[in-house]
Amino acid sequence: MGHEFELTDVAEVPATPEQVWEAIATGPGIDSWFMGRNDVEGGTGGVVRGAFGAYRPEFRIGTWDPPEQLGYGSETAPDGRRIAYEFLVEGRDAGSTVIRCVTSGFLPGDDWEDEFEAMTTGGELFFRTLVEYVTHFAGRTATPVTAFGPAVGDWDRAWARLGTALSLSARPAEGDRVLIGSEGVVYAVNDQTVGVRTADAMFRFVRGFQGAMVACHHLFTPGADADVEEKTWGDWLNRVLA
């Protein structure tokens, strides 16, 4: 059967259109809020490439109008699967900017619901992280860190154990003050994700589609070594969720 979808996220941020464009239309910018490592060959007909674990997506750029509009999407697979992203960037008075992101596409098969839920909750976190990035870290470039924890059988228990590791008495909730190396605040929570911002990082914990908790962090500390950090966070997840 499959499912056609279109999702829209909108936010006003205290950043210029040029700062937002740098975040959404360059590899280092996308590295600082999305997931994995990214590369952009700019211009209409260019390519946005990603690398997240074994996932290596490529998206063709259909619209390139800096700093106001960016659109790119995947080719349609034989089973009809496709996804596209469109960003509209509108400058406002006093240096603020409205970001509108439209995600659309098609998920094939009769079992599309679980994938759609994971995509929706993940997309909410990524957009919120974009907002946090241009609000608090504009002009800085992050080292992206991806680490995989063990398979989780009881997610209520897993989220509670994460809360304990962050010096909380329960599952993290938006606005909670936490300790994760340094003081931070929980900036985003939904059924499948938690995001924490500190002065020099954004730490994100995601319910992976294959059943493991995944750390998708952005470290703004100069000289951060992704390989070392990924091992450190993989070990951390295994300890916390044991």
pLDDT score at 209 = 80
pLDDT tens string, the chain, 242 residues long: the values are 899 999 999 999 999 999 999 999 999 999 999 999 999 999 999 999 999 878 899 999 999 999 999 999 999 999 999 999 999 999 998 889 999 999 999 999 998 999 999 999 999 999 999 999 999 999 999 999 999 999 999 999 999 999 999 999 999 999 999 999 999 999 999 999 999 999 999 999 999 988 999 999 999 999 999 999 999 999 999 999 99
pLDDT score at 125 = 98
pLDDT score at 126 = 98
H-state helical runs in the chain: 17-25, 27-31, 112-136, 155-165, 226-240
Report d(CA 191, CA 106) in Å as an integer. 23
Q: Which domains occur in the chain, in start order? A: 3-136 (3.30.530.20), 143-240 (3.30.310)
Instruction: Answer whether the bond into residue 222 is a cis peptide, omega within 30°.
Output: no
pTM above 0.75, yes or no: yes
Q: Which residue from 89, 85, 72, 233 is spatially nearest to 165, judged by alpha carbons?
A: 233
Q: What is the pLDDT of residues 153-178, one digit of tens each?
A: 999 999 999 999 999 999 999 999 99
User: Which helix (H) or strand (E) element contains residue 32?
Assistant: none
Q: Which two tokens stand for residue 143?
A: 């080292």
pLDDT score at 38 = 97
